[in-house]
Structure 1
Amino acid sequence: MSGMREQIEEHMEVVGSCGMHVGTVDHMEGDRIKLTKGDDPDGGGHHHYLPLTAIARVEGGRVVLTMNHEEALRARTM
């Protein structure tokens, strides 16, 4: 898991296992990915977070999650 953490860079797209957009990396914060405010589905301009444990792999300049985009959107925290 720590090897993937070092591969994650700002502005990488985060996608679900289905390939659908979940968010964009703002930066890493501890053991979580902080997503940009622009990806707040409520339009409230809030950052949301996903745990590193949700990452399946980093490839092609994207972070691919272990869950589909609908599950990921429900799993995000503020």
Structure 2
Amino acid sequence: MTDISQIKEHMEVIGADGVHVGTVDGVEGDRIKLTKKDSGAQIEQAEGSHEGHHHYISTGLVAGIEGDKVRLSATGANAVNFEEEEGGQQG
């Protein structure tokens, strides 16, 4: 199991396919909070509006930590489907 305490602010979050998903703003409970400016808005095949507010990724999707990158078990496009909005809604 990955040591979630190793996840730090400004680390890059990437999908299993190496696609950029976002940038860590912090960890809140069992979720990674992504920065507002970089919450996966540019991922191809992403649906809906992903700009202007924080998104969260479950720490359960973390496959590992490699240097300054948090690698997810889901691809970049699939990770967006698991993102949660600030209010707790899945995106």
TM-score normalized with structure 1 length: 0.91
Aligned match of 2:44: none
Residue of structure 1 equivalent to 2:31:
32
Which ranges of structure 2 fall in alignment gaps of 5 or more residues? 42-48, 86-91
Instruction: Within 5 Å, give how 1:41-60 maps onto structure 2.
Output: 41=41, 42=49, 44-60=51-67
Q: CA RMSD for the aligned pairs?
A: 1.3
Give the partner amino acid of 1:5.
I
- % identical aligned pairs: 48
Q: How many residues align?
A: 77
Q: Which runs of 5+ in 1 are unaligned?
A: none
Deviation at 1:6, TM superposition (A): 1.1
- The equivalent of 1:5 in structure 2 is 4
Q: TM-score normalized by structure 2?
A: 0.78
Q: Which has the higher helix share?
A: 1
Shift of 1:19: 0.4
